[in-house]
Every structure is written in structure tokens, then in C-alpha cells.
Structure 1
Amino acid sequence: MCPKIQPRRRGLRATVWSLVTVLVVAAGLTGAVLRQNSYDMDVRRVSIRHGGHTLNGVLAAPKDGRERHGLVVYVHGDGPIDATHDDGYKPMWEANAKAGYASLSWDKPGVAGAPGDWLDQSMDDRANEAAAAIAWARARPDIDRDRIGLWGASQAGWVLPKVAAKTPVSFVIAVSPAINWLQQGRYNLLAELRADGASAARTKAEIAKSDHTRQLLARHATFEEYVTAMGGDANGMTVDRWGFISKNYTADATQDLPALRGVPVLLTLAGHDINVDTADTERGYRKALDAGGALTVKRYPDAAHSLLKRSIEQSDLKTTLTALFAPRSLFADGFLDDQRQFLEGLGRDGNATP
């Protein structure tokens, strides 16, 4: 008899079962992540020629067996955004697919290996880019050329109506767009100061700094002049970013919005938007488009500027975990369904049904 061997065997057995349990849990979590990040659509890379170079795009099409689909062309907001917005667009693309629409997006110039530099672009450049993508899509046999529209977020608010002025579009989905660049910037500055609990003295100093920056932009100051004026502290500003702002700081959608008259427009606005004055945006859109009767406004009280749930967006950990295990739940309640229903409500010719 060897009684001393039994405890070792029991210890080994416990270790093995612990390892098995960990592997089973890990496999289950991996499976859950894979299931939640699998979407009912066909996603493929595409190339679009524009201005002597190539736009690296992604086309996400429904798996419904139809030969032709309508198309939602995505126009990014500010920043270095790739075609899928780090997969953040995919829940929306799936909602579009359920409505029978494909989705088209592309890497911004200079992003994910794409040629060019998005900071060299004006809003007109961006509109020309989107118009070229629409022309490319109209030539495809799998796209219904009479049902092509736009989706655009934030900074895209200055691009969407410019595109509509260049080429016919069947609809527009505008997500948290601003009207006037300078007004939006001032609104954002004050909102962030309030959120930080800034003192009256700090608020006054920040406004004075902002006013000085506007004066520099108005006289076409160089980046070096800006840095000198700020006391040598660029405060995160780069020469390329300064150039981008100098090209675009006069952007104002007021004169361009009439190009959307008669076009079905879904305007989606967040209840907790510190980037854009949503009340001002709604007034601007209603003034320009209400007469045509094709404007639909949806507000999401629990949403932040990105239309993600504010309670999730405020925490990096919550955002990461939700993106992994329930990416469709990132967005404000009703946001995805409202976009799907809007598309479903469009007629075969792209016009809103009565």
C-alpha cells in the first residue's frame, strides 16, 4: 500500500479540472464574442478611383438573394477614421442590410495605409470624394442606382448637403451634425468648461484664448504665429491640424442645406451632446427643410454625441466590454431600429412613402 500517493493524485486531479474549467470558460467567452461580432451581411473590400488615387473601401451587402440593393454611402466625422470605424459601423450596416440596403465606406486618406492625408482636405474635397464614390456605385450591377443615399456624422454635416448639390441622392441620415463651425466650437468649449466645473476666471481666460485664435485664423496666420501667440504652448495643436482648421473654420451648412429640400432626411440628435448645439441644429434643419415635408427628427435622451449610450461612453471599460460582448447595445435605445425603419419606409424610387 502507498497511502501517500493519494493526496498527490487528488491534487493533480483538482489542478486538471481547474484547468479544464478555465478552458471551458475561455472557450465560452470566445464563442460569445465571435457570435456577438458576427453580422448577417456580406462584407468585402473594394477599390474606388478618385482624383488620380484609390479610395480603399468596404462594401457590406445584404444576404437576401436579391440581385440589386439600395445603398447607404457613409461620410465620416472628424479624425483619422478607417472604413469600418474600428468595426463601430457594423451594427448600423447590419440594420441597413435588414432593410435591403448595402453600405459603402472607405478609409480616410492616410488612414490604414490609404494614400493621401485627410488633414489636407476641405469640406468640398470630402464632398467630391463622396460624389465619386456614388458615381462608382451607380456603375455597379448589384446596386440600384435610384436608391443611393448618404449617412454622415458630426463633421459630415458640412459635407452631406454639398454632395447633394453635386449629384442626386435619394435620402440622407444626418447624425449629430453641426450648422456653423465657429458656433459649434464655442458651444463645445463652454460645454466642456461647465462639465469640468471651471471657475469664472478660467472660463473668461479660455474664451479670450479662443477669440485670439479666431483672430489668427481670420488673418491667415501660420502655425508658428499661433504657437507664439499661445505663449509657446501648442496645447496639442499640430501644423497639419492647424492647416486643416484654417481650410475649414468658415464652414456653415446654412447656405448648402437647401440642396436637401424634397429629399427624405432623418436627423438624429443626442440628449447629452457637448460637441454640437442640437437645438441650433434642429432649428437650422427645420428652417431649411420643413417646407418640403421630408424631414424626420429623432431625439435620443440617453445618448452622447456619438449616439452611444451616455452611461457606456463615459467609461472606457464599459465601452470595451460592451463592444466585445454586445456591440449592438452600444447605441442609444431605438437608434438602430429607427434607421432601419427609415430605410424601409422609402419607396422603390428612394422617396419617402406617405
Structure 2
Amino acid sequence: MTGTPMLTTLLAALLAAAPAADCHIGAYRLSDGSALDIAPSQGDALRWRRIDGSSGKLTRGEGDTWKSTFGWTDRPDGKDVRFIDCAKGRITFDGTQGERIPFQVQQTTFAGEGGTRLVGRLILPPGHGKVPVVVLVHGSEHDSALSFDAMQRELPAEGVGAFVYDKRGTGSSDGKYTQDFSVLANDAVAAVAEARRLAGTRAGRVGFRGGSQGGWVAPLAATRTKVDFVIVGYGLAISPLEEDREAVAFQLKLKGYDQSVIDKAWQLSDAVGLILSSQLTEGYDQLDAAKAKYAKEPWYKDVRGDFSYLVLPMSSAEIREKGKEYMWNTPWHYDSMAVLEKLQTPQLWELGEDDIDAPSGETLRRLASLQAKGLPITTALFPHAEHGMTEYELTPAGERISTRYSAGYMQMTIDYANGALHPPYGASKIAFPSPAPAK
């Protein structure tokens, strides 16, 4: 159920005046006019982010001074943060002073599909004028978006409102965790309605931003309610089963294997996919046969995929038992194109060229076919970017470790929400919609 407008307004005033539960967390306006976001991270650490994509991990030093390391590495970067007065939101970052931005915050509960109680938050920039509002749609994570989605502050710091909510079965929301895209889309539709209600006269353009799995959910939700735009970050226009096949192929190509090896590896991926999509009832004979045939091949150890690597080490008995934990009503054969072909809402797809979890190649080809038909889809491919739109370096062992977010990625998101792009955006390759074909 949703709180009354009077109670919501009162709560918003209290929240705007009081510091967060952890007074360090928030968006800060530095004296040079730029913004800095401080977010929770793993354990007792914090993470800072800037709109240009730079980021670092913060660990506490003496007093309330926090030492920063470059990206997700352990190398000091010299950009330390000192909280001069945490409760009042005063800091210095890299020697520049700043203060916490006094956002307009409204906490709420609202009903998702089936009346499930969902917990959300609307954050608007200071002021009284109309602003775009972006409804943030989850990926597949189990974490609380209310706690960990930094976009809820990064967007308002740049003049764009954000509505964030814990999806069912996560954080403070009720219900059972699911990957049923239809249920999640209906929850997102309810979130848009709640965001509009809370924003009132301040709501300008309203749209979705879905990351990863949210790239399936947000476009589907946009077919069920009117929104002004959809932004997809590192999402896919293929099915979850196709995602695993594409990931298997992409990862093996990076290792130097050719298509003949990929064709063999796909037998493993397809068998795993059959097991999962049949709710653990079929595919075991196919998987056992493929494993017996290829387990001693030199490439077998390099088969990863999006989920195949979790299943391949297991026996049939282990898959039947442990697999029960992963039966989340995932629509394994989901037809993304059937949704996108009828969606007339303007869309921006921001993809990573080096995404090994959700490879962008086939998705880009499919989106290009829709652009050629005149659908209002813009794509941006960011080089050297992987899932999460982070750039990376390789460790001596050949493993990736993130260093920053792609330059231009967040600014492009903000500009699209505002209704006009102003390229370039870092080194991204942008493809705009084709003119609608003449009738």
C-alpha cells in the first residue's frame, strides 16, 4: 500500500534534513561545481564515483580520512577523501572541498503485481522546476538497489530525478525472488506510476533505465505503459539461452580457438540449456555424452559461458539437487525481438565491446535490423568495456580487473533522459535510428 501524500511529504522533509544511516554515503557538490558520489561497497569499504567515469575504493585511515585505490585495484591513486563534518556533509576530495547535495527525497511503498509490497525511493534535484525522472530497473542481482544503486544519486546530482526500488524478494521488498520477466515488468509499470505520483508537477520526461537483465524487463514494461524513453545498459536482444551460447563463443575466441571448437563447445552449452529450460527434467544424457566426448580436449577447461561453467563440474545427481536453488522462473527462450519490433518508444542501448558475460555482437546486429526498419533505437558501443560498462586491465594471470567506468557513459545516459544527445561520448561508436521507410 502507498502512504498518504501528507505523510509522504512529511517523511520527505525529515529525510532531506537528516543524514543517511551512514553519514558518509551521499552525493556531494565540490567547490569546482562538479559532483562526487560516495556509495557503500563490500565490507566496511566505500566507493567514490565521478560523472567522467573515474572511480576508486575507499578504506578508512586515521580519523575520518579514507585512502583511495585506483578503480577496483589495490594501487593507491592519491585521491583521498576526508570527512570534515560527516553529519553535516562536509568533505574534501583530492584537496577540493565539497558539501552534500540537499536532494528532495521521498520514501514509499507501493503494490507490484499481485499486490506484492515493494519499497522504493524518489530522489529529485533541489528546486521546483520540471525534471526528467528515470525509473531504475534491476538486473539479476539479489542485492538491495536502495542500498547499492549509485545511479539514484548520480542522476539527481546532474539534474535528473531517479526512482529506485528493491525488486521483489530483495532488500526491504516483500515477495519471492524471481526472474520472470513478465512479473518484473509489471512491477516496473507500478514503479513508473508511483514515481509519477510522487514527483507530481515536477515530473517532466519519464522513462526506464534497465541494466543487464533489466535490458529484457524495461522494454517489456514499456509495451505495457506509456513512457518517454527506455535506456538499456549492457543488455541483450537475444534469449537467456542464446546469451550462454554467445558467451561461450566470445570467450573461446578470446582464447584463440576457431569456429570448429566453438561448435563442439556449443553441444555442452545446449545440453546445459536443455536441463535448465526443462526445469531439470531433460538433457542429462546429452550433457553426459558431450562431456565424455570432449572433457579431455585442451579447450574444455576454457568453456565458461554465462552459466554453463557452474553446471559442467557437477554430476547429474548434483545438478538435480543443487539446480533447485536456481529455478527462478527464468524465461529461457524469451523472444526479445518480438517485444522490440512493436516498441515505438525511443530507446538508447549502451553496450560494452568486450562484454564477456553478455556479448554485444549479435544484439548489435539485431538492433541494427530494427534501426533499418525505422524504429527509434540508438546504439552506443563502448570500446574496451565489459559488463557493467567498466574498463579493465589484465592481471599477470590474465584475469580482468576493472579500472573505471567508460568515459561518456553516464553523460550519455543523462543527456538521453533530458531528450537530446550531444556526442561524442568518450570513444563510443554511435548508430542513430534510420529514417522511417516511406509508406
TM-score with structure 1 setting the length: 0.72
**Corresponding position of 2:336:** 253
**Letter aligned with residue 57 of structure 1:** G
Is residue 117 from structure 1 mapped to residue 176 from structure 2 by the alignment? yes
Gaps of 5+ in 2: 1-60, 68-79, 289-314, 422-432, 434-439
Give the number of the structure with larger relative contact order, counting CA–CA contacts within 8 Å between residues 6 or more apart.
Answer: 1
| Partner Cα distance (2:242, 2:400) in 1 | 28
Aligned match of 1:336: 410
* Compared CA separation, residues 146 and 86, structure 1 to 2 (3 A): closer
Is this contact kept in 2: 1:158–1:252, CA < 8 A?
A: no
Alignment deviations for residues 250-296 of structure 1 (CA, whole Å, 9 cap, x no partner): 112100003332x2221111121112231221222232244446322
CA deviations 1:310-353 (Å, max 9, x no partner) are: 2399666x66xxxxxxxxxx311111111222223359xxxx9x
Moved more, 197-206 or 142-151: 197-206
Runs of 5+ consecutive residues of structure 1 not aligned to the other structure: 1-21, 320-329
Q: Distance in 1 between matches of 2:414 and 2:321?
A: 39
Which residue number in structure 1 is paired with residue 207 of structure 2? 149
- From 353, 357, 360, give the equivalent of 1:275: 357
Within the candidate set 263, 267, 273, 1:208 is matched to: 267
Separation (CA, whole Å) in 1 of partners of 2:142 and 2:391 = 22
Name the amino acid aligned to 1:174.
V
Cross-structure match for 1:322: none
1:140 equivalent among 194, 198, 203: 198
Change (3 A) 1:71 1:27: closer
The percent identity for this pair of structures is 23
* Contact residue 205 and residue 418 of structure 2 kept, 8 A: no
Q: State which of 42, 49, 58 in structure 1 corresponds to 2:111.
A: 49
Name 1:79's counterpart in structure 2: 141
For residue 295 of structure 1, the aligned residue among 377, 390, 404 is 377
Aligned to 1:232: 317
2:220 corresponds, among 162, 167, 185, to 162
**1:78, distance to aligned residue in structure 2 (A):** 1.5
Superposed displacement of residue 185, structure 1 = 1.2
Q: Is contact 1:69–1:143 with CA below 8 Å preserved after alignment?
A: no
Aligned partner of 2:154: which letter?
E
SS in structure 1 of the partner of residue 214 of structure 2 = helix
Structure 2 counterpart of 1:334, one-letter code = G
Equivalent of 1:94 in 134, 146, 154: 154
More strand by share: 2
Residue 144 of structure 1, CA deviation: 4.9
2:131 pairs with 1:69: yes
**How much is the aligned-residue C-alpha RMSD, in angstroms?**
3.9
SS of 1:311's equivalent in the other structure is strand
Q: Tell me, in whole angstroms, the C-alpha distance in 1 between the residues paired with 2:386 and 2:322.
A: 25
Contact 2:389 2:405 in 1 (8 A): yes
Q: How does 1:180-199 map to 2 (within 5 A)?
A: 180-181=238-239, 182-194=241-253
Which deviates more from structure 2 when the two are superposed, residues 209-218 or residues 176-185?
209-218
SS of alignment partner, residue 250 of structure 1: coil
Residues 35 and 88 from structure 1, CA distance in 2 versus in 1: closer, same or farther, beyond 3 angstroms? Answer: farther
1:59 aligns with 2:59: no
Distance 1:238 1:164, change over 3 A: same
